Amino acid sequence: MLYVIGLGLSDEQDITVKGLNAVKSCERIYLEAYTSILMVQKEKLEEFYGKKIILADREMVEQKSDEILKDADKINVAFLVVGDPFGATTHTDLILRAKQLNIKVKPIHNASIMNAIGSSGLQLYNFGQTISIVFFHENWRPYSFYDKLKINVNLELHTLLLLDIKVKEQSWENMARGKLIYEPPRYMTVNQALDQLLEVENAKKDNVINSNSICCGIARVGSDDEKIVSGTIEELLEIDFGAPLHSLILCGKMHFLEADYLKTFAVNVETFNKYASIFDN
């Protein structure tokens, strides 16, 4: 069987009991290592599980999935995913490949950023489409996410923005020359995401956001040093959110209970009250 096991968001202890039992039954264990990261090293997981772990980068998962699925119809194989098994389309693709080979698949769920974002106090059913923001490059500055953001804003819904990470990525130059030289890992910060949002707004000029829009930055959600800060875009641009991973919420219209909770993380309560959009009842 192929087990696709969610690890949760923080460290080795976030795995579920069901997931841990499945890991212990497996002969090969892979850790997906490019759509997200845990806040502990692979060795810490190995010590906790009592098992060796193989790091699976983008190339292995997308181009060499046969190595992962080899003999999974005869032995148990685990594919470990930060967050929940269905947090990325790559994982869905691996499951489809397994099913085409008549390999039994068992997903084991866990917390992901999609539900842990409730730590902000904003209700999950008041969120619209989730948006991904990638690093802008000199010759590639995709603005396509702006239209989805505009829809959410017009519907007065909150927007969760997932921020780019670059792990084992090539530069444009090395890719063009066919050189297998990889860049150091990069993780987008809340500040970088806000800068890019303002750039797109300045280009599009549709009044979707402005420097006084209320938002919330979250870093290392689920960990002991989780950081949550709310305020205007202008205020959050000055906040140091520390180590990765970071996420960002652009707030829509809030129930007063949402506002009361989110306000506990505010840079400045006065500006929060001034610019937040709140339902009366």
Instruction: Give the residue numbers of the binding site.
Output: 9, 84, 87, 112-113, 163, 221, 246
Contact between 169 and 183 under an 8 Å Cβ cutoff? The reply is: yes
Q: Which residues are annotated as part of the binding site for S-adenosyl-L-methionine?
A: 9, 84, 87, 112-113, 163, 221, 246
Separation CA 268–CA 32 (nearest Å): 39
Look at strands 186-187 and 214-219 and give their pairing: unpaired
Separation CA 254–CA 267 (nearest Å): 18
What is the signed CA dihedral for 216, 220, 224, 225, rounded to 10 degrees? -70
Q: Which residues contact 202 (CB under 8 A, 6 or more apart)?
A: none
Phi first, then psi, for residue 21 (nearest 5°) are -60, -40
Contact between 185 and 243 under an 8 Å Cβ cutoff? The reply is: no
Separation CA 52–CA 30 (nearest Å): 9
- Give ∠ CA 161-60-98 in degrees, rounded to 5: 90
Contact between 119 and 219 under an 8 Å Cβ cutoff? The reply is: no
Using the CB atoms, write b or e for 201-235: b if 16+ within 10 Å: beeeeeebbeeebbbbbbbbbbbeeebbbbbbbbb
Separation CA 124–CA 117 (nearest Å): 8
Contact between 165 and 245 under an 8 Å Cβ cutoff? The reply is: yes
